[in-house]
Structure formats: C-alpha cells, structure tokens
Structure 1
Amino acid sequence: MGMTQLLLFGFAAFVIGYSKTAIGGLAVISVVIFASILPTRSSTAAILMVLIVGDLFAIWSYRRDCDLQLMRGLIPSVLPGLALGAGFLAIVDDTVLRRSIGALLLAMVALQLVVNARRDRLGQVAHGRAAAWAAGMGAGFATMTANAAGAVMTVYLVAKQVDKVRFVGTSAWFFFGINLLKIPFSTSLGLLAWADVWRALALAPLVGIGAWLGRHTIRRISQAAFEKAVLAASALSALALLVR
C-alpha cells in the first residue's frame, strides 16, 4: 500500500472521529475514500470497523445525552432495513453498488434541502409513528449498503427539531447499536476480514483525535454553517461515486 493510500485512510479515520462527535453527515467523505481505495463491496465492511471505533469515542463523550424515547421509536424498524440492505449487497456487483451509493447520497442531500426549506411542516409529520418506522427502515438499509444512514437520521432528527447535543448523543448510541448488528450480516456475506479489524485498531488514534476535536467544536460553530458544509461534501462525494 502506497503512502498516498495510507494518508487517505488516516484522513478518513480523522473525519470519522470528528463526524461521530460533531456532524455525522461528514462521514460520507470517509465512505467515498474507502470505496475509492478498496473494492466497493469490501469497503463497506472495512469502514464499518472504523465507524465502530468512532462510535466508542462518541458514546463515551455523550454518555448522558441519549434520548431513549427517540431510540425506542426507531429500533424496531432497523432490522428489516438491515436485512433488505444485506439482500441488496448479495445480488449487486461493485459498479452497481458504487453508483447506488452515489444516488442514495444525492437523494439524502435533496431530502435534507427539503427539510431545511419546510422544517415547520415536516416537524409535525416527523412526530408520527410512520415517520419513525420510515426513518428506521431507511437508516437500516442505508447503513448496510452505504454506511450512509447519518443523512437519514439527520433528516429525521432535524425535522423533529431535536437540540444539537441531544441530536449527537442519540445518534451516537443509535449507530453504535446498529453498527454492531451489521457485523454478522457483513460476516455472512464474506465481506469482513481480520485485516479490517487490525486496520481499524491502527487507525484508532486518528479517530480519537478527530472525536476530541469534534467534541470541543460542536458548541462553538453554528449549526447552519455545519449543515451547508455537510450538504456540499455529500453532494460532491456522491457525484464522485457516480462518475468514477
């Protein structure tokens, strides 16, 4: 592996740590980096292990900020979404998967723009049980196929007008749980290897640095500025996957 690839892996790990304790949407940058270095299908399992390392830093940082009521509304529909995502992974090749990830990310960007433009009306809809089930299913499918469920959760929690710290804390615990659930799915598909575990452990210090920085900046930088940066990064990353 060349120096450029090592630097890219290191940058991706740093971004994962930062996104886990700040704005989760930024993790799509890391998804694209891993998918550009490794075969797309294998990259979903490889980055999963780094995401779990980031989850551990995040749940420690926000161990008192999880909204359990929100979690209970989402969890029942996650497993069906994971199963659908696993089935999709089993039947598509790398090219279809890569382009599907790009299209999914673009769809999430468009959905986020709709939420921002019509936040009051969508906030009323988001409090219903159907919205929780849709968000859980969407998050399960998106995280299994593209590790891109952060965008789904962002749409749902922003529409519910969840305050920033509770938003990040709930997301941290939610994704830690579903990322652990993804391990047997990835293993059964033959995507997860011990090399992915060792890579994640080697990258853990950089994940930790990113998590520390995210924890110390989330209260200092405006939410509006973060959302604009995340949407721009998501759109560029999605386009990169679609044209690659």
Structure 2
Amino acid sequence: MDTTFWVLSVAGLITGFSKFSVGGMGLLILPVVMMVFPGPEALGIMIPLYIITDMMAVYSYRQQISWRVLAHFLPLAFLGVLIGGHFLANIDARQFVSFLGVIIVAMIALGLYLDFRPATFMRNPLAAYGMGFMGGVVSTIANAAGPLFSLFLLEQKLGKESYVSTRAWGFFIINLVKIPMYISLGLLSVKTTETSLQALPGLAIGAFIGFHFLKKVNPSQFKWLIRIMSFMAAAKLFLFS
C-alpha cells in the first residue's frame, strides 16, 4: 500500500475520532492530508469525509435543533463561503500553506480566549452575523471554523442537547454549500472523491474509538494535547511554505 493510503487513513481516523469524541482535532486534518496533497486540493479530498461524518452526526442529533440560532449564523456564512472561494481561486499553493498556518494559530488563540474570558458580546445579533461570515470564510479555506461556531453558540444559552444538535446541523449545511464552490474551482471531482474513499476504513475506526474514548478521557487535558499538536502542525507549515 502506498503513502497516500496511509496518510488518508490517518486523516480519516482523526476526522472520525474528532466528530465522535473531543472536538478541536479538525485543525490537524488538513496538515496531515497536505503531506501528499500539498495545496488547496487537500480541501477537495476531505470534503466527502466531512459530509459522511456530518450525516452521521445530524442523524444522531436530529432533535432540539435551534433553527432560530442558525438563522442568525448561516446567511452570512453562505456569503463567507463565496468570499472564501474567491480567495482560493486567486492564491497559489505556497500562499495557501502560509495562510493555513495563520488560521490554525488564530483558532488556537481563540480557543484559549474562550477558556479564560466570557464572550457575552456574542449575544449581540451583529456579532452573530460577523461570526457567521468569518465562519464561512475560514470553513471554506481551512475547514477549521469550529472555534468560531463555538464562540457564537456558547453564548446562546442552549441546553446541551440543543447545542450539539445545532452545531452538527450548522456544519452539515455549510459543508453542503461548499460543494458547488469546490467543484467550480476544480478541487472536487469524481477522481478526488475516489481518492477520498481510501480514508473510509480509518474514518470508521476513528469514529468507533472516539465514541468509546469520550467516556474515559479528561476533555480538558486532551484539549491541551490537541492544541500542542496543532501548533506543531502550524509551525511545520510555516517552515515549509
């Protein structure tokens, strides 16, 4: 088996594990895939896997969705997807690598901010629209908008079930909207989808491990491990850009 299979298997394992256990590992997925696909094409390779895990998540969390909250977040997220697509169309692979490193560091910093400071300003509708827009941009360019969505959702005073359901549906809808954009940019095709399928065994294993791991792990300690690994991935991107 070649290097591509093993790298995609690891990426699939991280994707499945992150979706069904402790979030935040999404920052690691693109740097891993870019070991064999060193440019924006990595986005097209991973989007089918995100859709698969999103479908599993929305089926599992199909109740108590706060459509009112999503109605504040999603409209400008769609605009952000368009702006992000325009950005991808006008940068080369080297610029993409550098920008991805910046986004990863910024998302780590945002996660730290959320740990130590309340974000009550997120209750302002204008702030919600702003996070929606930035979430769409960052999701399109780097598939790393989780901290932005969390920043918004955590201040909406949702119950745990509603929070998880609303988050799952928000990501699912945004990822569906990204598909036509990636196709138009040549990042997503039948060929790239066939390549993505190599990650399915790792995805299934990661989801299984993540589901059982969640019951035993200390989320706080594991979150710091993810941040350290993400920072190392960002440093690697900067060094090789």
Same fold (TM over 0.5): yes
Find the aligned partners of 2:30 and 2:160 in 1 and give their Cα distance.
Answer: 24
1:69 CA displacement: 2.8
Contact 1:115–1:158, Cα closer than 8 Å, also in 2:
no
Percent identity, aligned pairs only, is 28
1:237 CA displacement: 1.9
Structure 1 gap segments, 5+ residues each: none
Find the aligned partners of 1:88 and 1:136 in 2 and give their Cα distance.
Answer: 17
Mapping for residues 184-223 of structure 1, pairs under 5 Å: 184-223=180-219
Return the match for 2:170 from 174, 184, 191: 174
Instruction: Please tell me whether residue 133 in structure 1 is matched to residue 129 in structure 2.
Output: yes
Contact 2:63–2:162, Cα closer than 8 Å, also in 1:
no
1:159 CA displacement: 4.8
The residue type paired with residue 126 of structure 2 is A
Q: Mark the CA change 1:43 to 1:239 in structure 2 (over 3 Å): closer, same or farther.
A: same
Mapping for residues 100-111 of structure 1, pairs under 5 Å: 100-111=99-110
Give the secondary structure class of the aligned counterpart of 1:170. Answer: helix
Instruction: Please tell me whether residue 114 in structure 1 is matched to residue 96 in structure 2.
Output: no
Partner of residue 99, structure 1 = 98
1:235 CA displacement: 1.7
1:196 CA displacement: 2.0
The residue type paired with residue 238 of structure 1 is A
1:33 CA displacement: 0.9
Find the aligned partners of 1:224 and 1:73 in 2 and give their Cα distance.
Answer: 29
Deviations along 1:149-184, whole A, 9 cap, x unmatched?
123223333455656554433222111111111111
Partner of residue 227, structure 1 = 223
TM-score normalised according to structure 2 size: 0.89
Q: Mark the CA change 1:154 to 1:23 in structure 2 (over 3 Å): closer, same or farther.
A: farther
Structure 2 gap segments, 5+ residues each: none
Deviates more, 1:39-48 or 1:53-62: 53-62
Aligned residue pair count: 240
Name the Cα RMSD after superposition. Answer: 2.1
Give the secondary structure class of the aligned counterpart of 2:35. Answer: helix
TM-score normalised according to structure 1 size: 0.88
1:219 CA displacement: 4.8
Structure with more of its chain in helix, by fraction:
1
Q: Mark the CA change 1:200 to 1:64 in structure 2 (over 3 Å): closer, same or farther.
A: farther
Find the aligned partners of 1:172 and 1:11 in 2 and give their Cα distance.
Answer: 23
Contact 1:57–1:208, Cα closer than 8 Å, also in 2:
no
Partner of residue 155, structure 1 = 151
Deviates more, 1:187-196 or 1:224-233: 224-233
Deviations along 1:73-119, whole A, 9 cap, x unmatched?
21111111011101100111011111101101101111221221112
Instruction: Please tell me whether residue 32 in structure 1 is matched to residue 28 in structure 2.
Output: no
Deviates more, 1:59-68 or 1:30-39: 59-68
Return the match for 2:141 from 145, 156, 159: 145
Give the secondary structure class of the aligned counterpart of 2:34. Answer: helix
